[in-house]
Amino acid sequence: MMNTLKNENKDYSNDVFCHLEQLETDLYRMQIGNNRNFILSKSIDILIEKIEMIKRIVQVEIRFDWLKIQAEMDRLYKEDNSLTGFNILFDFKESEKSNRALIHVNKIQKDEKGK
């Protein structure tokens, strides 16, 4: 099953896979056109292997759709742009007593560092 890479409700996973296949085809054509250059041919083989690896990664089912959280954060910020952060409780297992780790992330924009 294809990994769903979503941004603004668009699925780009098929696009990524198609672009990788096109790049792979282009490299095969280059290799055929330059089949007398052993070093170039071997270099192209290595690049094709890397493309195959990326294609396998793109096809892996993701464990959690982090983009849903990002989309909700974007929606909430559009409603109230005075927000300075989000508290997210993420339970991966139901239990009577919660045992959560605290992850604190400060995201500072490049233009805000000097302020």
Give residue-wise pLDDT tens across range 96-113: 888 888 888 887 766 655
pLDDT value for 28: 94
Is 101 part of a structural domain of the chain? no
Residue 6 C-alpha from the chain's centroid: 9
Q: How many residues does the chain have?
A: 115
What domain range is 39 assigned to? 1-82
Total-model pTM: 0.48
What's the Cα-to-Cα distance from 59 to each of 4, 5, 11, 36, rounded to whole Å?
9, 10, 13, 34
Is 107 part of a structural domain of the chain? no
Domain total for the chain? 1
The token duo for 76 is 């909430």
Is 11 part of a structural domain of the chain? yes
Q: How big is the CA angle at 89 (ends 3 and 7), to the nearest 5 degrees? A: 30
Give residue-wise pLDDT tens across range 2-59: 444 444 555 555 688 889 999 999 999 999 998 899 999 999 999 999 999 998 888 8
Residue 1: is its pLDDT beyond 50?
Answer: no
pLDDT value for 77: 92
